Structure 1
Amino acid sequence: MSKNYLFSLTITPIQSFIAQAKTTKDFYSGSQIISNLIQELLKQFPCKDDIIFPASNSIISNKIIARIAIEKQEELIEKLQKTMKAFLPLKALCNGMELKSKSPELQQLENVFQLFYSSVEITGYKESYFEVEKNLSIIKNMRLFNQISSKNICYVCGERESFCQDKNEKNRCTVCYTKSRYESESYLSTAGIASLYYRQKLDNTLYERYKENFYHFDEALLYEENLKEDYLKKHHHLNNKNIEEIKKQLQSLSKEKPTKQYVLINFDGDNIGKILSNGLDNIGKILSNGLDNIELETFHREFSTKLSTFSQAVNKIISDEKGRVIYSGGDDFLCFVTPYYLNEVLDQIKESFENNVNTYQEKISYSIAITISHYKAPLHKIIENSRALLKATKAKYSSKSKLIKGGIGIEVYSSSSLLAKFIGDYNEFTLLKQFDGKKINLYSLEQLFSFAKSDMQYSEYLLIINMIKLELKRFLGRREIGFSDDEVAKIQQLLIAQVNRNYSIDLDNFFGFFKTVEQLSKDNNE
């Protein structure tokens, strides 16, 4: 009788590979490469029903769990290794790149991804799962790191030696060059994301006529600030037309102007690894030692299906008119959204997660980083900042804190700097919506709290709590601000709740809330 083994596999890098991008083209292509690679790896498994996680090849998951017969294991590993090693070189060759055998260019493409796997005989699913994951963790920690050359470094990833130049004569490694040439699905520039809602309201005939003014059109040309001779020549847009006439034609498209901001949403489920290990019981009985053998495997298959359903829902929510999904892994996703649809998208995501994933008595939380940026801000910096914000949000709502998990971080950027930052829970975030259009005098607010210290302890706070509540009510109740008594009470509750949870006043975050209100209330078309 054939013995069955539990096989666990992970691929790295995933998120960092996608994040290595200078343009949205790089960003989309990185995601498309990972998605296509995972689909090819899943095809190598002899039987689809043996795959426990993920439930669908339509999501980007760096973890695969499957049952494998002992006699098929060696053949499977060989196929997986060959598929992964040959994937990028084949794509590069299809895009016209010349690759010589054993050349450093070829080696870059062959070695960019690492595959780690472990397998154990299934004696009991729960015990085997814990053992295979423990072994996999040890193997990953023993991985080798390639030393980075100090010369001719790729300007995109900043890691690998450059062997190519892109159309702008920038040095790229073969990996990042392949990204730039990869046939990804339709993508938009940051200006394209920012102007989505504006373009939906334009007369299509007039819009198409406007685009005919340029050799190469991109949505940055919907912003009058870019209709300058030096910009048009630099980007090869000019079509021997009078620039002043082009400006008049742009102005005739609409009385309104497109917003200059776009939104990057970074979503990640909390403690998914622990959930896979211990399981959640759908009938409300949480077992102290986790689920038993049959139940844990059933849970893994069920939970995988739920995550896949949620991933598909995310792709429907972020429709072409609202933004673009960069990647969706079931328990995490990254997407662009045009600001007009931000609140609608967040509400739909919350509803979908509750309906498709959070059907257990023991609830699953998630963290979100929302980065609102000017379309001219360097994309790679915004991506880095988004990842850092998600990490900070998770840290604030970690198991070590007194806060209930599930935070939302929000940052607002100009073309060159951070303007506002706030991290709160979902209820605190929804308060931002209620203050749309309110005029806040931040200087007056900061003067009001000039007596307070950022590290003020709870005992000190208790002495002045009534003073703070009274002054806050007086400030927010001013006629020029226009808050109702109910809104004032909610803001007071926000501060009091924050203090009671942390036993100190986080003034930076408190002021960050109002700075965010101020930035979101501005007209960002100018």
Structure 2
Amino acid sequence: MSHKYLFIFTIGPVQSFIAQARKTQDLYAGSYLLSYLTDHAIDKLKLKATSCEIIFPYEHLKSKPSRFTASIETEDVKRLGNELKQCVMDEFESIADAGVGIVKRGVLTSFKQQIRNHLQVTWVALPLEEEKYPTMYRDLEANLYAVKNVRKFEQLVESGRKCSLCGERDVLFYRGMKRAFLRNDAISLNHQPLRYMGNGEGLCAVCLTKRYAGDYFHSGYERDFPSTAAIALMGSLDKLDPNLLADYKFLFGGNFDDVLYYKDNLTLEYFKKYSFPTEKLDEAARQLSAIYAVKKQKNLRFYKYYAIIMFDGDNMGNWLSGKYLKDTTQLMDFHKKMTVSLSYFSDNVRNLINKPKGRVVYAGGDDSLALLNLDHLLPVIHDLRCAFPHFETLGHDVAGNMASSASCGIVIAHYKTPFAEALEWVRMVEEEAKEIDAQKDAFAIAVLKHSGEIRKAVMKWTYNDKSTTALIEEIVKALKDEEFSNTFIKSLRAEFGGLLDEKGKYGDPPLIVTEIRRLIDRSCTMTRNESEDKEAFAWRRKQTVDDMISRVTSLYTSSTSAENFFSLLDIADFLSREAD
């Protein structure tokens, strides 16, 4: 006889599997694989259960999170849960076997051990009484937490050189010379294309599976996910003759990378490192010079910085638990409406971020990860925050004045900055955005300059009904249009930077406001038009200066500290030089 159950199923590890990446393709592959395995589990559950309703996430969501909640009917929930777990483990092993193929023959036993010990699949279930759904959901979440804390694991004894990506498992495959501490049975992949493994890299079975994932998925998988250089150049390359670019790419065969659009990479050392025919160097230099000539005619620049953004709904655990609902008996209906609204948001994310603005890595409902071209950074993050769903308007009474919100971490990095480092930073600044105050609803932005200098600021999305990102965008535009020089930014830090306390605050805020007015007026570089009389110019200049003072003062008064404010102005100055 079948019984109804509330069922939660999770696949891990999540953060490490996705974020252990040396290039953007690794990041995308990890995200895609977890989403695919969640889809696979849902499909199998619908086949094996007597009945099945997916409550969270939306069933047709393109990028699914690594967990789902369902209402199911089955005769034996323990057998069903374990069969589902085994289906996911088997599918991951099939992807690894088919993707990596024959190159693993010499390390077959170790390969299977690493693959089988990687995934952490957990499920929990309770008999479902719909009138007790809120209590049951909270109990099930608590059970899931407890199970994860006492999960079983198999000891995998490995003492060789560790994987270049994860740093956890032994290297089974390598490229280049055989280095110290490599296992005796490690396999050379010198004959494989560079997109699978770079020179000097050594990978374990799990990380090599991410590199070969595109060979397993015949549709829906993006085999050539844009590199950091491609994102940085996206706005400029889109304005050049595609035939000119195609001829240049053809010189490099199937191993072209957008870093080759930068002249400082067109060297003999680079060609040797990546096994390009050195006899093609002169022709490559000639064709690249032709591209630069057209670039100059069109007044374009090849920028070297890009942005990573991590966008995440605030207090999602409390919303899902029903903490903010006046009538918690309606929690299941609220969950279903949340699921649909977050699905729409996910679609909006993909519609907002596409070429030449950037590329979405995943949009899994309330959280998203994307790479952005700097030309579009500020308007895109503004639009994302505006598009985030309002849970308080889903037809259920919400306690107090609670309203849904979201926070965002943003990191601007040089294309040569180690990608893993940039990812670590974006996770860190997203956490800082959520820690700004109890209400959260903020963004944190950091610039990792190639020189090693770092600037970081945390701000609320709005202040006195003014959009913070819009204010920054207007300041950036004024600097870019050369209405003002950046001397007021440098002078503010020079005058007050040494007078701040340990929290970055200044003891006399009105004095900074007074100095903002004086320095901005002095930094105005506007000139009179030929057809403009002195009075008209004086009025136009005054309006422009007053507007700039208002924007900068608003940012100062809404900033958590003077140091935070100075860093935000430094970032605005940086964007005025590094984005069109």
The normalised TM-score by structure 1 is 0.88
Cross-structure match for 1:21: 21
Conserved 8 A contact 1:318-1:345: yes
Conserved 8 A contact 2:248-2:288: no
Cross-structure match for 2:205: 174
Against the structure 1 CA distance between its residues 51 and 217, is the aligned structure 2 distance closer, same or farther, given a 3 Å change threshold?
A: same
Against the structure 1 CA distance between its residues 8 and 513, is the aligned structure 2 distance closer, same or farther, given a 3 Å change threshold?
A: same
- Equivalent of residue 187 in structure 1, options 215, 222, 225: 225
Identify the range of structure 1 (433-442 vs 382-391) with the bigger mean alpha-carbon deviation: 433-442
What is the DSSP-based 3-state SS (H/G/I as helix, E as strand, rest coil) of the residue aligned with 2:573?
A: helix
Determine the C-alpha separation between the residues in 1 that align with 2:406 and 2:239: 34
Cross-structure match for 2:423: 383
Cross-structure match for 1:298: 333
Deviation at 1:233, TM superposition (A): 2.8
Deviation at 1:354, TM superposition (A): 4.3
Against the structure 1 CA distance between its residues 6 and 246, is the aligned structure 2 distance closer, same or farther, given a 3 Å change threshold?
A: same
Conserved 8 A contact 1:372-1:413: yes
Whether 1:82 and 2:118 are equivalent positions in the alignment is no
1:481-520 alignment, distance < 5 Å: 484-498=545-559, 506-520=561-575
What is the DSSP-based 3-state SS (H/G/I as helix, E as strand, rest coil) of the residue aligned with 1:405?
A: coil
Q: Deviations over 1:321-363 (max 9, x none)?
A: 32221112101010111112223322332332247x6745742
Cross-structure match for 1:466: 510
What is the DSSP-based 3-state SS (H/G/I as helix, E as strand, rest coil) of the residue aligned with 2:39?
A: helix
Deviation at 1:40, TM superposition (A): 0.5
1:138-287 alignment, distance < 5 Å: 138-144=146-152, 149=158, 151-165=160-174, 166-183=197-214, 184-185=221-222, 186-215=224-253, 216-238=255-277, 240-241=279-280, 242-243=282-283, 244-255=285-296, 256-278=300-322, 286-287=325-326
Against the structure 1 CA distance between its residues 392 and 481, is the aligned structure 2 distance closer, same or farther, given a 3 Å change threshold?
A: farther
**Structure 2: which amino acid aligns with 1:212?**
F
Cross-structure match for 1:364: 404
Determine the C-alpha separation between the residues in 1 that align with 2:354 and 2:570: 30
What is the DSSP-based 3-state SS (H/G/I as helix, E as strand, rest coil) of the residue aligned with 2:279?
A: coil
Conserved 8 A contact 1:22-1:378: yes
Determine the C-alpha separation between the residues in 1 that align with 2:436 and 2:498: 25
Against the structure 1 CA distance between its residues 262 and 467, is the aligned structure 2 distance closer, same or farther, given a 3 Å change threshold?
A: closer
Against the structure 1 CA distance between its residues 245 and 196, is the aligned structure 2 distance closer, same or farther, given a 3 Å change threshold?
A: same
- Equivalent of residue 64 in structure 1, options 53, 68, 83: 68
Determine the C-alpha separation between the residues in 2 that align with 1:451 and 1:204: 51
Whether 1:330 and 2:338 are equivalent positions in the alignment is no
**Structure 1: which amino acid aligns with 2:416?**
K
Against the structure 1 CA distance between its residues 481 and 150, is the aligned structure 2 distance closer, same or farther, given a 3 Å change threshold?
A: farther
Cross-structure match for 1:115: 121
Report sequence identity in percent: 30
**Structure 2: which amino acid aligns with 1:189?**
S
Determine the C-alpha separation between the residues in 2 that align with 1:270 and 1:192: 31
Against the structure 1 CA distance between its residues 339 and 498, is the aligned structure 2 distance closer, same or farther, given a 3 Å change threshold?
A: closer
Identify the range of structure 1 (27-36 vs 115-124) with the bigger mean alpha-carbon deviation: 115-124
Determine the C-alpha separation between the residues in 2 that align with 1:493 and 1:321: 31
Deviation at 1:387, TM superposition (A): 0.7
Q: Deviations over 1:469-513 (max 9, x none)?
A: 2222212221446762233133323333446xxxxxx23212211
Whether 1:342 and 2:390 are equivalent positions in the alignment is no
What is the DSSP-based 3-state SS (H/G/I as helix, E as strand, rest coil) of the residue aligned with 2:454?
A: strand
Conserved 8 A contact 2:305-2:415: yes
What is the DSSP-based 3-state SS (H/G/I as helix, E as strand, rest coil) of the residue aligned with 1:5?
A: strand
Deviation at 1:455, TM superposition (A): 4.1
Against the structure 1 CA distance between its residues 192 and 465, is the aligned structure 2 distance closer, same or farther, given a 3 Å change threshold?
A: closer
Deviation at 1:417, TM superposition (A): 2.3
**Structure 1: which amino acid aligns with 2:459?**
G
What is the DSSP-based 3-state SS (H/G/I as helix, E as strand, rest coil) of the residue aligned with 1:484?
A: helix
Deviation at 1:142, TM superposition (A): 2.1
Determine the C-alpha separation between the residues in 2 that align with 1:218 and 1:497: 42
Conserved 8 A contact 1:270-1:366: yes
Cross-structure match for 1:283: none
Against the structure 1 CA distance between its residues 217 and 52, is the aligned structure 2 distance closer, same or farther, given a 3 Å change threshold?
A: same
Determine the C-alpha separation between the residues in 1 that align with 2:459 and 2:498: 24
Deviation at 1:443, TM superposition (A): 4.2
Cross-structure match for 1:435: 475
Determine the C-alpha separation between the residues in 1 that align with 2:11 and 2:30: 14
Conserved 8 A contact 1:9-1:64: yes
Determine the C-alpha separation between the residues in 1 that align with 2:341 and 2:85: 29
RMSD: 2.7
Deviation at 1:121, TM superposition (A): 1.5
**Structure 2: which amino acid aligns with 1:85?**
M
Against the structure 1 CA distance between its residues 89 and 418, is the aligned structure 2 distance closer, same or farther, given a 3 Å change threshold?
A: farther
Against the structure 1 CA distance between its residues 136 and 337, is the aligned structure 2 distance closer, same or farther, given a 3 Å change threshold?
A: same
The normalised TM-score by structure 2 is 0.80
Unaligned runs of 5+ in 1: 281-285, 500-505
Conserved 8 A contact 2:57-2:339: yes
Conserved 8 A contact 1:44-1:79: no
Conserved 8 A contact 1:11-1:62: yes
What is the DSSP-based 3-state SS (H/G/I as helix, E as strand, rest coil) of the residue aligned with 1:449?
A: helix
How many pairs align?
Answer: 501
**Structure 1: which amino acid aligns with 2:552?**
I
Against the structure 1 CA distance between its residues 148 and 252, is the aligned structure 2 distance closer, same or farther, given a 3 Å change threshold?
A: farther
Unaligned runs of 5+ in 2: 175-196, 215-220, 463-467, 527-543
What is the DSSP-based 3-state SS (H/G/I as helix, E as strand, rest coil) of the residue aligned with 2:63?
A: coil
What is the DSSP-based 3-state SS (H/G/I as helix, E as strand, rest coil) of the residue aligned with 2:165?
A: coil
- Equivalent of residue 519 in structure 2, options 465, 469, 475: 475
